[in-house]
């Protein structure tokens, strides 16, 4: 009995893993062109919900920034 239950559970897990996929709920990726006077803080505050400090960290990680320096005309991907 235990073996049958185990086989059914493994089979169900395998089928779930096979057919599971991204729902696309996050929507298309957004990008932002930096303007003169913009800072990571202002971009994070206006485009990301929550604490701007976390938003700055997410922007740095998503765009592979080594610091907080951004330049006008630079394209940033918004997480």
> Which CATH number do you get for residue 58?
3.10.350
Indicate the range of 2-6, 24-28, 63-67, 75-79 predicted with least confidence.
24-28
CA dihedral 8, 9, 14, 19 (to 10 degrees): 90
Whole-angstrom distance, CA of residue 2 vs CA of residue 77: 50
The yes-or-no verdict on residue 22 having pLDDT over 80 is no
Q: Which domain holds residue 38?
A: 30-79
Phi first, then psi: give them for residue 33, nearest 5 degrees: -95, 125
Model pLDDT for residues 27-61, shown as the tens digit of each residue: 677 999 999 999 999 999 999 999 999 999 999 99
pLDDT reported for residue 26: 66
Number of independent structural domains in the chain: 1
**pTM of the predicted model as reported, rounded to 2 decimal places:** 0.65
């Amino acid at each position: 009995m235990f073996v049958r239950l185990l086989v059914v559970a493994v089979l169900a897990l395998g089928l779930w893993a096979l057919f599971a996929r991204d729902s696309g709920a996050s929507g298309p990726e957004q990008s932002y062109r930096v303007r003169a006077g913009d800072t990571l803080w202002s971009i994070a505050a206006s485009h990301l919900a929550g604490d701007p400090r976390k938003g700055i960290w997410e922007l740095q990680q998503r765009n592979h920034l080594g610091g907080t320096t951004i330049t006008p005309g630079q394209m940033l991907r918004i997480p």
